[in-house]
Chains A and B, each alone.
Chain A
Amino acid sequence: MISTIYLENEVRDHPVTKALLLRFQNATVIPCDRYTEVFNRKAQNFRLQKKKPSLILARKHHGFVMKAPDSYGIGGTQNYYFSHMLNCIYDCRYCFLQGMYRSAHYVLFVNYEDFTRSMETILDEHPDDEVWFYSGYDCDSLAFDPVTCFTDFILPFFKKYDRARLEFRTKSTQIRSLLKHIPLSNCVVAFSLSPENITQSLEAKTPPLINRIESMRRLQKAGWNVGIRFEPLIFSDDYKTRYGELFSIVASQLDMSRIHSISVGAFRVPKPYFKTMVRLYPDEKLFAGPLEEEDGTISYQQDLQEEMLEWCSQQIKQFAPACHHYQCRN
């Protein structure tokens, strides 16, 4: 699956690197000084690279954990996000990563220890608060976990800090590592779900809806907090039917009384990213839909967006009345 690895000289001897090189013994390893020599340089085509992405092993030097925007989060007051990886093995057509990066290679920052060190500092800065750390901003949190083994590293940290909260955001079914660990009450595994036709049309390479739900069931059964993210909501003329079907499947397959939280979120992309996305996929129907620009962001037309968010929220209140439910507009 990975045939080329670009390796920053600086992380050659890092234990995570060594484990990965052992795993991909047949890969061609190309040394480099900084990952930016390879990643995101000018004259790169995300769409072409997505056909055969390489793995880049690098050290992150700063900005390990970032303050999340005010609108972000599921109720906590202190919200932070982090990305131990850039890019994703899936290929969702609505994904902002394809507009943000020129490269589709996967960058893995192997110095995981610096992420937790940074989290410790942040926890010290907020001694009386719960602090949320969101994973999965620049990648899917779990999709590449069998390779990165990041959960094996991060979970013991959260076991130590009860006040720290962790959200994994995923569309994947890679839960084997989680199932090996004792469930943590301060960790949520949040699955992004879309109607099956949207998954098939716009979420290339992701597991089918039914497999994601099966993974959620298994995690619930094992005692993990499971969240649901209906994000981004994708408009179609039959969206009520499609999302209605999705909600019935979810309600019938999962123990709703034990769902940690549900959120619905609008499709929103910064305009420059959107322009790149259209350039990459000029024949994508999604981009021809009822979208508009407001303050440099492309989203569904205001009325339509409100209507979808409200309708979905109402439905969710009916099938999961007791569940924490959030609307994300940004």
Chain B
Amino acid sequence: MLTIVTALLCEARPLISDFNLKKVPESHPYPIYRNDELNLVISGIGKIASASATAYVHALNGSCNHSAWLNIGLAGHSDYELETGFLAIKIIDQSCHQSWYPSIIFEPSCQTGMLITVDQVGKKYHPNYGVDMEASGFYATACRFTTSELVQCFKVVSDNPQTPVRKIAANEASKLISDQMEHISSIIDALGQLQTEIDTPNQTPPFFNEIMALCKMTHSEQLLLREKLKRLFLLNPNHEMDFSLFVKPHQSKDILFVLEKLISEQKVLFQ
């Protein structure tokens, strides 16, 4: 699952429509939209709002080791042209002077750039940096829930020294984001691929349930059973389990002992 966090509905609109996201009917403190693969939450403006909404969605979805997170929004930039989309490679929080360095493990189709998260938007641009109001709060929070390679911030330049900060109409903000859909989709795809790479769903090893049905096992014995079955089938994926080896009355310790013996009988070969 990937969660997109935007500050405003107007930034989210093109994403909701392109990804065919549906509003979650229950009442939540933040508007949440969803399809089978994506969540989108609208946090409100500012790093605290972004951090809170991120934490809220995490809590709502339950723990998932390798969730992916993408903050999408507008930013000012001292050097980039208007409408440039870029992935953040460094995020500085202006008020606490802390820095984060998102690792981009894929080849991004868009530009990359550094970003300063500020509490109040001013007229000042920082050479070589973009300026936003959410990234630091979002990034620091999302990294508590997943590995940092799966957390990215994508910003679209809405103002620069030539076209300074001004009030941006909702439809203008939506257009700035919708013009970047190709880049956004490719980031989402790339994060999805990385997730698949490290996602080892807690697959139940073969025969786990059948053996569990034989006798009662404590939690730690269940973990051992899982581990032993996993090793057995790693060494020999075609192993045929002979249940007559588990003598009656079935005892968990005996079963684990038999499995350890079976493991030791498997050949270890490297091709």
Residues of A in contact with B (beta carbons under 8 Å apart): 4, 6, 28, 30-33, 37-38, 41-45, 47-49, 51-52, 54, 197-198, 200-202, 234-238, 280, 282-285, 288-290
Looking at A41, A42, A200, A288, the one whose CB has the most chain B CB atoms below 10 A away is: A288
Cβ contact within 8 Å between B90 and A48: no
Determine the distance from Cα of A198 to Cα of B106 in the docked complex, in whole angstroms: 29
Q: Kindly report which residue of chain B lies nearest to residue A238, judged by CB atoms.
A: B269
CB-contact partner of B234 in A45, A237, A280, A288, under 8 A? A288
Residue B171 at the A interface, CB < 8 A?
no
Determine the distance from Cα of A60 to Cα of B143 in the docked complex, in whole angstroms: 27
Determine the distance from Cα of A302 to Cα of B271 in the docked complex, in whole angstroms: 25
Determine the distance from Cα of A47 to Cα of B147 in the docked complex, in whole angstroms: 11
Cβ contact within 8 Å between B198 and A47: yes
Residues of B in contact with A (beta carbons under 8 Å apart): 89-90, 99, 101, 103-106, 112, 114, 143-144, 146-150, 194, 197-198, 200, 230-232, 234-235, 263-264, 267-271
19 contacts between A and B (CB under 8 A): A30-B114, A32-B101, A33-B99, A37-B99, A38-B101, A43-B147, A44-B103, A44-B148, A45-B198, A47-B198, A48-B147, A48-B149, A48-B150, A49-B105, A51-B197, A52-B104, A52-B106, A197-B271, A198-B270
Determine the distance from Cα of A37 to Cα of B90 in the docked complex, in whole angstroms: 11
Cβ contact within 8 Å between A43 and B269: no
Cβ contact within 8 Å between B149 and A237: no
CB-contact partner of B270 in A4, A6, A236, under 8 A? A236
Cβ contact within 8 Å between B106 and A44: no
How many cross-chain pairs have Cβ atoms below 8 Å apart between A and B? Answer: 89
Determine the distance from Cα of A235 to Cα of B270 in the docked complex, in whole angstroms: 9
CB-contact partner of B103 in A49, A198, A235, A288, under 8 A? A49
Cβ contact within 8 Å between A52 and B105: yes
Cβ contact within 8 Å between A43 and B234: no
Q: Kindly report which residue of chain B lies nearest to residue A281, judged by CB atoms.
A: B200
CB-contact partner of B149 in A30, A45, A198, under 8 A? A45
Determine the distance from Cα of A32 to Cα of B200 in the docked complex, in whole angstroms: 34
Give every chain B residue within 8 A of A201 (Cβ-Cβ).
Answer: 270-271
CB-contact partner of B147 in A28, A45, A197, under 8 A? A45
Q: Kindly report which residue of chain B lies nearest to residue A38, judged by CB atoms.
A: B101
The 8 closest A-B pairs by CB, nearest first: A288-B231, A45-B147, A288-B234, A201-B270, A48-B149, A43-B143, A237-B267, A43-B148
Determine the distance from Cα of A198 to Cα of B200 in the docked complex, in whole angstroms: 25
